[in-house]
Structures are given as structure tokens and as C-alpha cells.
Amino acid sequence: MNKAIKYRLYPTKEQAEYFLKCFGCCRFVYNQALNWRIMAYNADRTCLNYNDTAYGLVALKRIYPWLKEADSIALQQSLRHLDTAFSNFFKVKGAGFPKFKSRKHNRRSYTTINQKGTVAVSEDKYIKLPKAGKVKARIHRSPESGWNIKSTTISMDSDGKFYASVLYEYESITIPVAISNNVIGLDYKSNGLYMDSNGNSHTGHKYYRAGQAKFAKAQRKLKNKAIGSSNYKKQQLKISKIHKHISNQRLDDLHKTSTKIANQYDVVCVESLNMKAMSNKSFGNGKATMDNGYGMFLNMLEYKLNNRGKYFVKVDKWYPSSQTCCECGRIHKLSLNDRIYRCECGLTMDRDLNAAINIRNEGLNLLYEQYQKVG
């Protein structure tokens, strides 16, 4: 598990100048490498990888000796970031082609890796960094025992304040192997679609959408009939038949899906949604009753897992599963239109997948707490 803690830094004038130098050098190296990658691809469709650009960096340092004044690990990290940006571009839908960084539009930051104590957080109110030495800091939270520093990102905000976001790594909670092996988190939507924490999505059923269209059409037809007439009654009957048919298909799908999950996994973590709020929101449109399969789905999962002696864990509905970064724990406010979750720790991921992973992790934490109380 990882956890990031952001500390305010109070660098001396020299240290601040050094930070600015590192920001600039990292941006320079990033842009150079992006240019190499584009040129190589345009020339003969060659895709450069991280190692290729790392060789390039060695040459670059010979041409521009001032690069040697910056944190060399940070320069390599900016090449890593570029590499991640490229793999995201290919893997994550909607991630976009990597862009050149500008001083104006990009956050000024650089990341350095802790190599056997090159980065350290001291309770004596400083953070040790490569080349900068001890930088005065407000240590509002000390690392707990067993937390190891993985990396830190130094940044400057628009007001000129400096921060160090320290990424700690710690052993994830040890849950008995028997139950920790086969865990899944589900980010379930009221319309029957879900994403699981392994990145598999249940895309729902085509017939359901087809049935919906049929249902809507039949309802529109009803409006043209005189209320109480025999045609009206006939149409009403037709609507209730379609409705029944859709409900049956839906129920069938919920049963099949929940059985499959209960057979496959030992621990299933879900989010307990606020059913009342959900039904209020969709009240008044024809889908309301049909779309409320979520509660049913949870009930099915619960008894099917219980029957098999497995675990069903409900994560509190207030837990910010969509807003939390599943990699470092930072919180970002996402708007409903944001399909991709992006975090400054480097994570770029489908929003639902990030949520599903968080639900799984939080569910495991809860299960572990329970386990400790009992046993």
C-alpha cells in the first residue's frame, strides 16, 4: 500500500533556486525526449522506449552541462513520466497524446526516488533531499513505523510556496491468505453495468436496451388513446406485458451475474448505495422501477456468498471511492463527465476501475478490522 503526505517546505534562497533549476531541467528533458519519440516515429515508425531516451539523456548532458546541476534521478523520472504518458495513450481510452510541457501551463514539479536514505523526513522539522540537503519543513504528520519513503515530488504553487509530497510505502495489512487470495471490488451502476477491480466490465444486455425502446414506444402510443376505451385497456395490457418481460430478463441477468461472481470469488466488496436517494432521483421516469435492480443484486450476492461460506463486504456509501487515487490515496474532485482519473502520482486510469479498486481495498480493510475483533 502507498500513502502520500504533502509537507510545506521553507527552503533557503539557494535551495529555492535549486528547486527552480530542477523544475526547468526536468521540463527540458521531458520535452526533448518527447521530441525524439515523435521524430523517430515520423522517420520510420520507430517507437522509442524508456531506455532509448535514457541513452539520449546521457548525450544531452554532454551537450548541456548545466543539466548536471539538477537532481539526476529527477531527470530520469521525467523520462519515466513520459513513458507512462505514452503507455497511457495506448492503453487508456481518452488519455490523449502526450503534450509538451510549458512553464506557463504546467505545474512546476520534479520527482526523485529515495535510494537508501537519500530522501528522509525528520521530526526535527526538515526533509532531506538529494543535492538540496536539509530543507526546513512543517512536519504535521510523521511517518508511522514500517512506512518507507518511496519517492517525493517537490512542487511550487502559483503563490511561490514550495511543497514536498512524500510517497510512503508500507506492507499491506496481512489478511489470512485463505481469504485474501480471491478478492474483488465492484463499482456497480444502477443500470446494471459494473466495472470490477480487475478491469472487467459487465456491459449489460442488449435486449434490455431494446426492451426499453419498445417499452417507451408502447407508452407513447398509450397517450394517443382515449382513456378508458377498449384500445386504451389493450395498450395498457401490452405495456404491462413488455414491462414484465423486461423485468424477467433483468432478474435472470442479475441471477446469472451474481452466481458467477459468487462462484468465482471468496470476498466480494461493494458499495452500499443510498437506495432512497437513487429512487428519488429517478422517480417519475419509467425506468425507475426497472433500474432499481441494485438492491436486488446486492441481496443475491449476499446470500449466495453466505451459502458458500464466503465473504460479502459492504463499503459505506460515504467512502469517496470515485475521488480517491487508488495508488497514493490523494483525493481529487471529479466531475461526472471525467471518465479518466488522473493523479499527480502518475496514475491515469479509467474512473470506474479506480473506484472498483478502492472499493476492494476499503472492503479488505473493513474485513480485516472485523477479523481482528473476532479473532
Q: Which residues bind Zn ion (CB under 5 A)?
A: 325, 327-328, 330, 343, 345, 347
Report the nearest approach of Zn ion to the CB of residue 355 (Å).
Answer: 14
Nearest to 362 by CA among 197, 129, 165, 158: 197
DSSP assignments along 20-78, one per residue: HHHHHHHHHHHHHHHHHHHHHHHHH-----HHHHHHHHHHHHHH-GGGGGS-HHHHHHH
Sign, Cα dihedral of 52, 55, 61, 63: negative
Beta pairing, strands 267-271 & 311-315: parallel
CA–CA separation, 228 vs 67, rounded Å? 84
Q: Which residue lies nearer to Zn ion by CB, 31 or 323?
A: 323
Nearer to Zn ion, 3 or 189 (CB): 3
Q: Are the CB atoms for 359 and 189 separated by under 8 Å? A: no
Q: Which is nearer to Zn ion, 74 or 345 (CB)?
A: 345
Cβ distance to Zn ion smaller for residue 191 or 323: 323
Q: How far, in Å, are 33, 163, 339 from residue 51 at the CA level?
A: 11, 30, 31
Catalytic residue, from 196, 253, 350, 352: name it: 352
Answer whether 30's CB lies under 8 Å from 101's CB: yes
Q: Which is nearer to Zn ion, 119 or 167 (CB)?
A: 167
Q: Cβ distance 118 to 72 under 8 Å?
A: no
Q: Is 271 considered catalytic here?
A: yes
Q: How far is the CB of 323 from Zn ion (least distance, A)?
A: 11
Taking the complex as a whole, the smallest distance from the CB of residue 167 to Zn ion amounts, in Å, to 9
How many helices (H) and strands (E) in the chain?
A: 10, 14
291 tagged catalytic: no
Active site residue 253: no
How far is it, in rounded angstroms, from Cα 11 to Cα 132? 9
Catalytic residues: 187, 271, 352
